[in-house]
């Protein structure tokens, strides 16, 4: 195994199909931080984000053999995380509070800088947006994806991403005090 | 809010985002007055706030869960497989699925002389072993043993000669820190096979 795996994502998928189990590990190492950021910034709760990321990557691991290559591997991985996030949010909406609770696990330990980050008002405000707007803003404005790439990940037209971002920014402008209702 | 309420705000925000198209958006923006400027400034401030959110990295605890989950899938597939394979399939536990930057934060404990050293991280432990010239790796000092151990652990062949090493404990599991040359100046590989060479407890490339 070379020190730095120079194979493309597609080549890693092919290697995985050929039985090289560490090929998928390399994909996780390559994209794990960004997939985690997407889940964590969208769901806000590190435990939920950890659960969703695990479900998504296990699903990807099981299905990577049937990946058809009609999108970039990274886009495909992001889509799975997005869909798991949507499932989680919709499930939580439908679930009565008394039914809340998850299987006990060791708590997710964030880097020390994350604790400070957690307190940022902007993330609290972000969490109050509808999840579709949140996802668009996390991808475009927080993580810096081009609109076209965000659209591919979210499987909507670019115009829809722009519209969701626009509406989300208006809401955030109010929540963050940049726009006052009485002004 | 003046100048038309939330509908006007939304249209302005959409124009700011380039909707319905760049030309029409520019016309909407240009036609606005002081209120328009104030809203556009507010939207720009929002984007600045969002862009200033610090990056987040996959936490080690989550990487551990991921590795364990994928190992469970492998174990299930192995158990149910009836296909004849070329070699007896060895159960390989994954090292942590961490990016290099995050892997540097994995805490490990140096063991052996000098004893009772405080917890540190893989990069620091490797640097220290090299600086001190420590080569306390037992039978792994033999290149053939070392290559066999890394292969058994699933770490692949050694990329270069053993430069330093020492016993360590990573996440409660005993292993041996091996600092290996790579053939590239300024680049080292620090890898920690578990005792018995059953798994890789840590794997990090250092330098450029």
Is B98 in contact with B106 (CB distance < 8 Å)? yes
Structure confidence by residue, pLDDT tens digits, B57-67? 888 778 878 88
Per-residue pLDDT band for A109 (boundaries 50, 70, 90) equals low
Domain A1-110 has CATH 1.10.1740.10: yes
Domain check: are B94 and B11 in the same one? no
**Residue contact A170–B9, C-beta within 8 A:** yes
Per the structure, the complete domain to which residue B180 belongs is given by 60-207
Domain check: are B134 and B42 in the same one? no
Domain check: are B146 and B90 in the same one? yes
pTM over 0.90: no
A-to-B residue pairs, Cβ atoms closer than 8 angstroms: 165
Domain check: are B129 and B180 in the same one? yes
pLDDT number for residue B123: 75
Fold of A120-183: Arc Repressor Mutant, subunit A (1.10.10)
Domain check: are B114 and B189 in the same one? yes
Structure confidence by residue, pLDDT tens digits, A137-155? 999 999 999 999 999 999 9
Per-residue pLDDT band for A96 (boundaries 50, 70, 90) equals low
**Residue contact B42–A173, C-beta within 8 A:** yes
Distance from CA of B111 to the nearest CA of A (A): 25
Tell me the mean pLDDT in the region A76-82. 96
Domain check: are B77 and B140 in the same one? yes
Domain check: are B15 and B107 in the same one? no
**Residue contact A33–B2, C-beta within 8 A:** no
What's the mean per-residue pLDDT of chain A?
84
Which phi-psi region, left, alpha or beta, contains residue A174 (left: φ > 0; alpha: ψ -120 to 50)? alpha
Please say whether the dihedral angle defined by the alpha carbons of residues B89, B93, B98 and B99, taken in this order, is positive or negative: negative
Domain check: are B38 and B121 in the same one? no
Domain check: are B41 and B105 in the same one? no
Domain ranges, ordered by start, for chain A: 1-110, 120-183
Question: At which residue do the structure tokens 């892997």 appear?
Answer: B103
Structure confidence by residue, pLDDT tens digits, B19-72? 888 788 777 777 777 788 899 999 999 999 999 888 888 887 788 788 888 888
Nearest to B19 among A109, A159, A169 (CB): A159
Question: Hey, which residues 85-144 in chain A have their CB within 8 Å of chain B?
Answer: 105-111, 113-114, 117, 120, 122-123, 126, 137, 141-142, 144
CA distances from B44 to A153, B13, B16, B38, B64 (A): 24, 10, 9, 10, 39
For residue B110, pLDDT over 60 is answered with no
* Residues across chain A: 183
Sheet of strand B120-121, all strands in order from the earlier edge strand to the far edge: B120-121, B107-110, B162-170, B173-181, B187-193, B200-207
Domain check: are B33 and B112 in the same one? no
| pLDDT above 70: percentage of residues in chain B | 75
Interacting residues of B196 by C-beta distance below 8 A, sequence separation 6+: none
Per-residue pLDDT band for A1 (boundaries 50, 70, 90) equals very low
Structural domains of chain B, count? 2
For residue B116, pLDDT over 50 is answered with no
């Amino acid at each position: 195994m070379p020190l730095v795996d120079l194979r493309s994502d597609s080549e890693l998928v092919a290697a995985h199909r050929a039985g090289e189990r560490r090929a998928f590990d390399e994909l996780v190492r390559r994209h794990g931080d960004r997939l985690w950021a997407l889940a964590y910034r969208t769901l806000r709760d590190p435990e939920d984000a950890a659960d969703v990321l695990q479900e998504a990557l296990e699903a990807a691991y099981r299905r990577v053999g049937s990946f058809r290559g009609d999108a970039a591997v990274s886009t495909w991985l992001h889509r799975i995380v997005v869909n798991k996030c949507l499932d989680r949010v919709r499930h939580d909406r439908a679930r009565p509070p008394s039914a809340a609770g998850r299987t006990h696990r060791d708590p997710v330990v964030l880097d020390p800088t994350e604790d400070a980050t957690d307190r940022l008002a902007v993330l609290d405000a972000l969490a109050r947006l509808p999840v579709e707007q949140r996802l668009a803003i996390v991808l475009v404005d927080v993580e810096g994806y081009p609109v076209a790439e965000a659209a591919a990940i979210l499987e909507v037209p670019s115009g829809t991403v722009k519209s969701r971002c626009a509406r989300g920014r208006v809401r955030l402008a109010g929540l963050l005090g940049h726009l006052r209702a009485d002004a | 809010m003046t100048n038309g309420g939330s509908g006007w705000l939304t249209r302005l925000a959409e124009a700011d985002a380039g909707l319905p198209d760049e030309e029409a958006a520019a016309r909407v923006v240009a036609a606005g007055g002081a209120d328009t400027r104030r809203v556009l400034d507010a939207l720009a401030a929002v984007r600045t706030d969002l862009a200033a959110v610090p990056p987040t990295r996959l936490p080690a605890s989550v990487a551990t869960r991921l590795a364990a989950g994928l190992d469970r899938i492998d174990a299930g597939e192995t158990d149910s497989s009836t296909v004849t394979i070329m070699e007896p399939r060895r159960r390989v536990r994954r090292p942590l699925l961490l990016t290099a930057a995050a892997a540097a934060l994995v805490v490990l404990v140096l063991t052996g002389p000098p004893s009772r050293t405080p917890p540190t991280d893989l990069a620091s432990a490797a640097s220290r072993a090299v600086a001190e010239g420590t080569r306390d790796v037992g039978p792994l000092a033999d290149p053939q043993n070392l290559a066999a151990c890394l292969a058994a652990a699933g770490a692949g062949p050694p990329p270069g000669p053993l430069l330093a090493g020492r016993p360590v404990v990573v996440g409660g599991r005993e292993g041996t820190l091996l600092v290996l040359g790579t053939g590239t100046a300024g680049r080292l590989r620090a890898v920690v096979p578990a005792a018995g060479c059953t798994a890789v407890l840590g794997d990090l490339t250092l330098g450029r």
